[in-house]
Structure 1
């Protein structure tokens, strides 16, 4: 059967769409899961209040590697699981832990005040710094990172809502330059092995 010119165009477009879909399936199926791998050239940038009430920027950690995770204190699973893995990494770094600063940036400023973070981040015993700010400050900070977050109404959650968000853990170099990221579920052993390769 011979195809008309128009049919050939349609088949060509269908083939392109199929290839694009296949590539999407390989690299990740959710925006908040694959966003972290899209731009290898961005830098960490923030000006937020930490859980001790001090204003911190990326410049305060100049010369150190930063492990940055975006989440919220009321997160039921992803956030505590990831921060627990970070705690294991920091413990196993031993004397080299001084090279690395783990940072937790809240995407729930309504609930995550400095006082709330002061109760949350010490639970992981890894010298994690919790950062928060106004809604506008969090939005501005998020704009510097390839992340996604969205408030979702959920009657069974505290205060009637939860937050869907990017679950990648980011690594930034001593000059706040992006180095790599790990998807949710990456074990502490894998993170530690990668981290040692980069920091040596």
Structure 2
């Protein structure tokens, strides 16, 4: 085979291979936040547990409360396996979502859900680690309520902090639980 044919075959093979997929290792990472009981927590605060991580905020009018209900249903569908999961709700609105505000909000959902907040810098660092977009919407006037645009994915992380899967808004608790149960069965 001539060098020209070899080079052409190599270029064709590389083109057919396509781009490299996003690496799962690029999702997740260290964080230091405060839970809704006022305790400092990190990603290592839940040893041996799979983490379900969702970013949102308490003033969210639709997606966040719906997703938190779904996450509670997911834990119920998992039954005894729910003890192997810790679900974290990380606020992207630390200005309003103080530990006290989260302490009032979180009991509206499953008792195993933990709300987390922090300084704007801590929240931004956690969001960046999970590749989460968030942005405070412009206010119409000073003092008026505002919305926060944000990614609405739920991330499943393994006990070593590695990304396993994600779930999109609108998937029911039973569907999410079935996927998690398959992951747990392999472990």
TM-score normalized by the length of structure 2: 0.82
Q: Over the residues paired in the alignment, what is the CA RMSD in angstroms?
A: 1.7
1:175 maps to which residue? 160
Gaps of 5+ in 1: 1-36
Partners in 2 of 1:135 and 1:173 — Cα distance? Answer: 26
Instruction: Confirm whether residue 165 of structure 1 aligns to residue 150 of structure 2.
Output: yes
Match of 2:24 among 35, 40, 43: 40
Q: Is the 8 A contact 2:69 2:110 kept in 1?
A: no
Residue in structure 1 matched with residue 86 of structure 2 by the alignment? 101
Hey, what does 2:119 align to over in structure 1? 134
Which deviations, in whole Å up to 9, do the C-alpha atoms of 1:161-197 show, x marking residues without a partner?
Answer: 1100000011000111110001111111110110000
Residue-by-residue CA offset, 1:4-58 (whole Å, 9 max, x unaligned): xxxxxxxxxxxxxxxxxxxxxxxxxxxxxxxxx9541133321000000000001
Distance 2:96 2:172 in 1: 29
Aligned pairs, how many?
163
Task: Report the Cα offset of residue 154 of structure 1.
Answer: 4.5
The CA distance in 2 between the partners of 1:65 and 1:154, in whole Å, is: 38
Instruction: State whether residues 150 and 164 of structure 1, in contact with CA within 8 Å, keep that contact through their aligned partners in structure 2.
Output: yes
* Residue in 2 that maps onto 1:18: none
Name the SS of the counterpart of 1:85 in structure 2. helix
The corresponding residue for 2:17 is none
Correspondent of 1:88 among 73, 82, 91? 73
The question of whether the paired residues in 1 share the 8 Å contact of 2:154 and 2:168 is answered with: yes
Which whole-Å CA distance do the structure 1 matches of 2:51 and 2:113 have between them? 10
Distance in 1 of aligned mates of 2:175 and 2:140:
37
Q: Aligned with 1:160: secondary structure? A: coil
Which whole-Å CA distance do the structure 2 matches of 1:52 and 1:140 have between them?
Answer: 21
Residues 104-123 of structure 1: pairs in structure 2 closer than 5 A = 104-123=89-108
- Contact 2:77/2:173 (<8 A) preserved: no
Give 5+ residue unaligned stretches, structure 2.
Answer: 1-20
TM-score w.r.t. the length of structure 1 is: 0.77
Partners of 2:62 and 2:140 lie apart in 1 by 17
2:54 to 69, 72, 75: 69
Q: In the alignment, what sits opposite 2:5? A: none
CA distance in 1, matches of 2:55, 2:150: 8
